[in-house]
Amino acid sequence: MKQTRLAPNHLAAGGKMVDFSGWEMPLHYGSQMDEHHAVRQSVGMFDVSHMSVVDVQGRDSAPYLQKLLANDVARLKAPGRALYSAMLNPTGGVKDDLIVYRLALGYRLVVNCGTRDKDLAWMRVCSSGFEVEILERSELALIAVQGPESLNLLDAILEPHQQSLLAGLAPFEGGFAGDWFLARTGYTGELGVEVMLPNAAAEGLWTALMAAGVRPIGLGARDTLRLEAGMNLYGQDMDESHSPLSSNLEWTLKHNGRDFIGEAAVLEMKASEASSALIGLVMLGRGVLRAHYPVYAQDILVGEITSGAFSPTLQAGIGFARVKPWEGPLSVEIRGKRQAVEPVSLPFVRRGQKVYEKVIAET
């Protein structure tokens, strides 16, 4: 298995290591529940160095990414600005989801580790005819510091030139301080920063954050935090056989005549029958929702859970479900019994608070 530079630090902190898409990563460091609450209530840090950082440079970087991505990088009006986008296949399925930052020269993409090989191959195939250079930055580590106290705690251990960069960053914006890239992004629905830095500097930052009282957070809590925050997980809530329309990603599609890969297929689907939708569900009784549980509207099977968990913040079973248009009350089958659920708007939780409202209209 591949390891990040921080593997010894995870073991030293009591990390329970598991195989995550070929990487040996911490699932938790004792209690997933406590780690979740730490990020919602104060601060925690994640080693996400398994994710792949890819820089795109060259004269045609912008037109290339306008073709490759379903969201439009022309919306990034200044260096440092970031956006979330899907990368589609020609039939309109989701190849991956990613963050793209505009840099002074070119762009920086952060893609999932499980899709890294196929993403890079696809990006190279699609670069034909464009003057671009696609450069994977495997020498970089990625540490996410998230939670209401994240900015203050990180600020306290940074160098002055890094502090002034951080102070000037708006949400969803990043910038360089020397060879460190700091960005106000994350996967938790909380205030936070992601730091991309040379592997050789990763242990120093991690150790300084530990000493400042920042708790390390494993993949288990990362999953419940992103689920509460209404954020999709690639491979569970999105894949190549489902379009952005049925993956709650329509808001990321920017149709402006530039003809991005997959757009024609998506427009055709949109014009034909109503597609499935990815919605939020909350259990009305006690219990836990889990991926692949069947979802019913009255007695008709209308879909299944794609991601589910017990929400530590809401103290209820929550999940995403991909469902066909339905009528009447919804239920989920758990161990042979139907349990009532309520369809809700996403996200479930933001900045530590319940924010969802019941979806009144049936689709």
Nearer to another protein by Cβ, of 129 and 285: the residue is 285
Binding another protein (rule: CB under 8 A), the pick from 106, 216, 220, 303 is 220
Q: Give CA–CA dist 263/254, Å, rounded.
A: 9
Q: Give CA–CA dist 339/319, Å, rounded.
A: 13
Report the nearest approach of another protein to the CB of residue 285 (Å). Answer: 10
334-353 binders of another protein (CB under 8 A): 335
Say if residue 30 is exposed, middle or buried (CB neighbours under 10 Å; 0-12, 13-18, 19+): middle
Strands 294-297 and 277-283: unpaired
Binding another protein (rule: CB under 8 A), the pick from 10, 28, 50, 184 is 28
Query: Candidates 64-72, 106-114, 135-143, 309-317 — which segment interacts with another protein by CB under 8 A?
Result: 309-317
Query: Candidates 124-132, 145-153, 241-249, 282-290 — which segment interacts with another protein by CB under 8 A?
Result: 282-290
Other Cβ atoms less than 10 A from the Cβ of 330: the count is: 24
316-335 binders of another protein (CB under 8 A): 317, 335
x-marked contacts with another protein along 236-255 as a string, rule CB under 8 A: --------------------
Query: Candidates 31-39, 173-181, 265-273, 340-348 — which segment interacts with another protein by CB under 8 A?
Result: 31-39
Cβ atoms of residues 78 and 54 within 8 Å: no
Query: Candidates 50-58, 148-156, 185-193, 287-295 — which segment interacts with another protein by CB under 8 A?
Result: 287-295
Cβ atoms of residues 18 and 29 within 8 Å: no
Residue 287 lies near another protein (rule: CB under 8 A): yes
Nearer to another protein by Cβ, of 255 and 292: the residue is 292
Report the nearest approach of another protein to the CB of residue 290 (Å). Answer: 7
Cβ atoms of residues 341 and 283 within 8 Å: yes
Binding another protein (rule: CB under 8 A), the pick from 33, 169, 210, 291 is 33
Q: Which long-range contacts (CB under 8 A, 24 or more apart) does 153-157 make?
A: 153/43, 153/209, 153/212, 153/213, 153/214, 154/193, 154/195, 154/209, 156/212, 157/205, 157/208, 157/209, 157/212
Handedness of CA 121, 122, 125, 126 (dihedral sign): negative
Nearer to another protein by Cβ, of 175 and 308: the residue is 308
Q: Which amino acid is at 75?
A: R
Residue 32 lies near another protein (rule: CB under 8 A): yes
DSSP string for 298-310: TTEEEEEEEEEEE
Nearer to another protein by Cβ, of 28 and 102: the residue is 28
Largest CA distance in the chain: 62
The site for another protein (CB under 8 A) is made up of 28, 31-33, 220, 224, 286-288, 290, 309-310, 317, 335
